[in-house]
Structure 1
Amino acid sequence: MYQAGIYCRVSIEEQNKEGEYSNSIHSQIQMARDYIAEQNDITEVRVYVDDGFSGSNFDRTEFRRMLADIELRTINMVIFKDVSRLGREHIDTNYYLGKYFPEKRIRVVSLLDNYDSMASTYDELLEIKTLLNDMYLRDTSRKIKTTIQTKRSMGEYTPKQPPFGYVKSKTVHNHLEVDPYAAEVVGRIYRMYRNGFGCSVICRVLNEDQIPCPAKYKKEVLKNGYAWDVGKGLWTPATVRGILKNPIYTGAVVIRKYNKPSYKLKYKKAIPLEEMELVPDAHEAIISKEEFDQVQQIRQERRIPYFDRNKEPHKYVGLLFCGKCKTAMRKRYLASHNSYDGYMCGFHQKMGQNYCELNHITFEKLDELVVFAINQQLKQMRTDLKKLETQIGQRKPDVDSKVTRLHAKIERNTEYRKRAYEQFMDEILSKEEFLELKQMYENENRQYQKELEKLKQEEQEQQATVNTTKVWLDNFSQRKLTVKQMTREVLVELIDKIYVYPDQKIDIYFKFASEKNSANVIIQKDGVM
């Protein structure tokens, strides 16, 4: 009896073309159920419907659920209207039809293709059809892209959601109209930036004034169906930067923002602002062209490569985090000293004390604590290494004795099996007796062989631990590490993460922990945990 799953798919483009989405899906389901009703050995188990998913890739919710049910053996048969419902991408579609489904022993029925894997194999004709589906997909992608670019070149704004500061016109199709409240916020952001405020400070001011961020504003104020259900509804530096570099606020429409290497890929590469093709005066401007250019000039001058103004990354980058909110720590710049004095919580630096308390540590204190912790860890590793080498030496005679005994047992059973065979040939033993003895000796030898492999694996693992520890310790020939020797390379080699807490305590998680603390090492001295 076949436990069948019915798979249906319709893309947004096909849905718009056919008018009513439900009719397409219902027809696919009904066609499959009509087929099942004509058979005597098929039971419908589940229906999988991917709503508005393209056939260009297989990253679809219901398709993945169907694969999970196949792995769990919930279904052993898949039915779909035709191969294009499964997918239009040539290579992956052929993989599932020609390899995955046969390996899992799944019966596949494509109704309009008159294909049943139980009655026929996956042949060249079906491969050609998947190739034609792929060509159709590429042609459709090209047509859609051309249509969108043509509309944008005529000044139409084609995305469904308008940018913050605008709303879609109710009278003119794809035309933007200024939203007075949001436009005032956009203008305020540009004015603050021109007056010297950074993105983080602008965010803090907007959040303190309880101005909703763009996502929250679209959903709760405009109520235009914007799908926002994540985050706290706060302004972030990334949101502000997006507004500051968007030429849409000058009244222009961008024809193309991204380059996509292939219609099969989701990856998109952003086109630099200076290379974007714009259609000016497509709608009312919120920001003048001169003001926009001035802001871009300021952004270019403020852009600091890496992490410091001296264009060098600090040695703790990627390793240092706030112990309270788990955000990366950033260097703290003191204008009064015209220099950096230490590290502080990046979230507090961006958003203020209402979001994470002040968490700061000086360069000198952090270096002192980290050097102490590393030296403690290296000391513990040296101690563990000596203990492990002693244990290996003490166990070696016992292990060698076990290995010798197991080899002797294997040789003995091999000899017994040989004698049993000779007795069988001399008709002393019956065939049944010989086979029984043969099976017994082979089973015992397999068990002995497993024990040998286990002993060998344990010995190899212990020796690997010794060798790895020696390699690590060889990198530090001196007994103790100093602050001067603690370079970026040393930190990356030894440490996975460092968490800093407001009470000047730190947790250090080493990449190679001592045997005593196999997962993480937590050391304490004055302020070190």
Structure 2
Amino acid sequence: MAKEKGYTNLVHFLDDGISGVTMDRPGFNDMMEQLAAGKAAAVFVKDLSRLGRNYIEVGRLTEEFFPEHDIRLVAVSDNIDTAEGENELAPIRNLFNEWYARDISKKRRISNKIKGNAGEPMGPPPYGYKKDPDDPKRWIVDEEAAQVVRRVFRMTLDGYGTEQIATIFSEEKILTPIAYWREKGVNRPGKSKLRGPYMWNSSTITHILSLQEYCGDILNFKTYSKSYKNKKRLANDRENWVIFQDVHEPIIERAVFEQVQQKRGKIRKRRTHEGERNMFSGLLVCADCGHNLHFHFNQGNPDIKYFNCSNYKGNRGTCTSTHYVRVDFLEQVVLGEIRRLTKFASQFEDEFVKAVIGHSQQAEATDRKLKEKELKALQARDEELDGLFERIYEDNVSGKLSDDRFARMSRRYEEEQKELAEKIKALRAEIDKQNSQSMTTDMFISLVRKYTRARKLTPRMLNELIEKIEVFNAEKVDGVWEQRLRIHYNCVGAIEIPDLIPLPAPEVSVNTRKGVVVNYAPSTIAG
């Protein structure tokens, strides 16, 4: 067509695979730069939608930019040629082009909603997985990358921080996820070329540790976009996610994942001024004021290591007591209590399960089933409304349904869907909470059995089993100094072993200062 109009020096601009809704397209931008520089006299397009599907921006081009720069516009299919005068239908065609994009976007959102609620993964597989060649909707383990993921979780439970792990991986020249994908020919966005293929950073490690997908789950709707014109993905509230458990093969055991999540964000790595770390750092809290206990050396005898309340008034805080506790005392007490707990689990299994789970499990299970049934009914109605909306839209386009009737019906459906969304959100949050409690209880029982033969206290054992330890200030009882501790275990809290069961608390004593002996006394659970 351009040659027929007498133009011979032609330049082609393409933007294949990029939505016309956005005007920020490489080919389009290049064309506009050349037009602004006066390097062309005419623009030929198949139709106006090729310029873009943004009514305002395309209108600005056709009404202002092209006339100001004396540029001829020819839209072949739309029968528009500005050399022949203004075309009154051009603005209407631009509006229809944008409506078309809006309609496609709406239908795609409905389609994605149906797929996402059916358990189909809505995004590419994370590092450690790849698409099944026989079924692209299914993820399978990418063993080479999965080994790195397992190592990240293992090192975290062994007490390594994210910066340490990143440094070790960089030194060992392990490919970053982006570099690994590119080596395998997988096209994924990222900045590995700027950082280098082996330059791991702590944010990458943190991201890996946060992915529940490694348990074998599918998590849909983690992000959303505000409109079809704005492609930026925003983080969605967790209660709006749709989670399907045990869909594909797990890389990380759920128990391990849950343990890591409970530890993330807590300060585990506090050091003394001399730089030493201690495995109890971040675990100990003051029983009176709730502040963390800080790790110290005895200045006169560096072999004596201890913790005390960071909020003690002697250090300009508000707590009235130091809550001093020796590290060697803690090690003996905690190891002794863990051994006592494992004996409780192995020798008195029924009583142990009752103590951990409680008597309300059956009632909670029944309640959970009722809520799950209600949730399925709400989701079914939500999907039904999506189908009804598509139907009335098609009827409206074909003329079977008037605009007025369509507006009233679509408004009613949208109001009902809004109410359903609120109910589904609240119900899913309740079910997730119940499932989490039940799941983590079972995991804790299996973890306790794992340490039945424990002979030494390790950072991993602490991380897996213990949430926090409340430290009471030592006090004199019947002429004897006693140090009370209350251990809160992950997922289940503090556990009291019934007095009738012959498993006495560990007998631990320590000399805190010359002539003074402090004995361990377990703290009972209030109420």
TM-score by length of 2: 0.48
TM-score by length of 1: 0.48
Larger radius of gyration: 1
